[in-house]
Amino acid sequence: MKMFKPIALNEVNTFPFKSPQELITYASDKKQILIAVNAEKILHASTETKRIINGNIGYADGIGAVMALKRKGEKESVKIPGCELWLEIIREFYKSKSFYLVGSKQEIVEATVAKLKIEFHNIQILNYRDGFIKTEEQNNL
């Protein structure tokens, strides 16, 4: 298998994948989180955000990230939209893997789960939650 090395974009490691399938193949045997990287994350990532991204698999999910990769010599790097990527991952692995969904508003993630259960019979969704993760202080309000 081809070795992939991330490229540091303002200290945010981003893999220069040439296609969603290349990312899926690379990540399929890894026990890491796939993290969408866009210009906002590259420009404003905190030390903690950088630590999380750099310890996992950051991929270009924004034209700003792709442009930065291309400026670093990765001319074949492409934008990999998260929504399309996750649907491909589900198509490929729903019979053999389980899923935990995080994102969007609660009613949207619930509608997504319902739709996935109809479209992908026997999909194993362990749990799901909205994407508005609060700090401990916010939880106590």
pLDDT digits (tens, 9 = 90+) for 29-57: 899 999 999 999 999 999 999 999 999 99
Over the stretch 84-117, which tens digit does the pLDDT of each residue have?
A: 999 999 999 999 999 999 888 999 999 999 999 9
- Give the type of residue at 98: S
How far does Cα 52 stand from its chain's mean position? 12
Nearest-angstrom CA–CA distance, 121 and 28: 21
Q: What is the pLDDT of residue 26?
A: 96
Residue 80: strand, helix, or coil: coil
How far does Cα 25 stand from its chain's mean position? 14
What pTM value is reported for the model? 0.82
- Give the type of residue at 65: A
Q: What is the pLDDT of residue 128?
A: 94
Confidence of residue 2 (pLDDT cuts 50, 70, 90): low
Confidence of residue 27 (pLDDT cuts 50, 70, 90): very high
Average pLDDT over residues 20-29: 94
Q: What is the pLDDT of residue 131?
A: 81
Nearest-angstrom CA–CA distance, 69 and 21: 18
Confidence of residue 138 (pLDDT cuts 50, 70, 90): very low
